Amino acid sequence: MSKLGFVKIHRKIQDHWLWQDKPFSKGQAWIDLIMMANHDENKFLLGNELVEVSRGQLITSEIKLMNRWGWSKSKVRNFLNLLEAEQMICKESDKKKTTLTICNYRDWQEVQTTKKPQRDYEETTEKPQRDYEETTERLQKDHEGTTERLQKDHEETMKRLQKDTNKNVKNVKNVKNVKEVKREGEKTPRFYSPSYEEVKKYCDERKNNVIPERFVDFYESKGWMVGKNKMKDWKAAVRSWEKKEDPKQLQSIKKTQFHLCESRGKDWSNEDLEKILLKKV
């Protein structure tokens, strides 16, 4: 164990229950005197007297030390005499007080404990500052490098995306051109008017309610025109009729057809039957 150097002891230790355990040892009482001594010049009022206290001095009494250390009056007096004989303290007493001066207090507290802590404080203060500056400078460089790298990556990505976009646009144009060429080369199927059997077969396949005779007669009367345009796909027209046909109306038409057929043997010609059918429709 090293016997050189100093150990810092804060005066707050005097409030700790370990320190207040009594009776004090002689070593504890000596350390207690050092901690009780003023670390700077001071003045205080004792009764009506203004007392000046120098650095390393303390104002006390034997009775106070008795209560503080848990000793008898004779033990306190003998201990103070021992310290004075060893030139560790100087004692001055009067009726009001006892003034104790710690000998070589400056050597104990200033040369070793004041200058060295000051150097330690300066080094401790300067080192974090240097570390902070170095860390800040390094972070700044890293940030600049990261920003530059991200900017470069962004530019490369945008160039690549632009190339891909141009390529996709070119491909779309090529596909469009191919489709247009195909359209130009393709021939539109020529329309032909279907027969009654073809319409009936298609209606049976779709299982709809469209009456083939009515469908064929209707568009035959219009020259197979849809509005002002020539019909292009009669099957599409059949699918449109599926949505328009009313089941009740179809039932009425079928009944009319039946009655017309039953009455066909009378004086009605085919032309008359057709007119009557068209009126019912």
Task: Give the per-residue pLDDT at 2.
Answer: 55
- Environment class of residue 167 by beta-carbon count within 10 Å: exposed (0-12), middle (13-18) or buried (19+)? exposed
Tell me the C-alpha distance between 102 and 57, whole Å.
6
Phi–psi pair at 104, nearest 5 degrees? 55, 30
pTM above 0.75, yes or no: no
Mind spelling out the 3-state secondary structure of 198-216? HHHHHHHHHCCCCCHHHHH
3-state class (DSSP) for residue 60: strand
Q: Are 24 and 32 in contact (CB under 8 A)?
A: yes
pLDDT in tens, 7-30: 778 888 888 888 888 999 999 999
- Domains of the chain with CATH codes: 11-103 (1.10.10.10), 196-280 (no CATH)
Q: Which long-range contacts (CB under 8 A, 24 or more apart) does 49-54 make?
A: 49/96, 51/97, 54/101
pLDDT in tens, 134-175: 878 888 888 787 788 888 888 898 888 888 877 776 766 666
Instruction: Between 33 and 171, name the one with better pLDDT.
Output: 33
Q: For the chain, how many residues are written?
A: 281
Angle at 224 between CA 219 and CA 229, to 5 degrees: 130
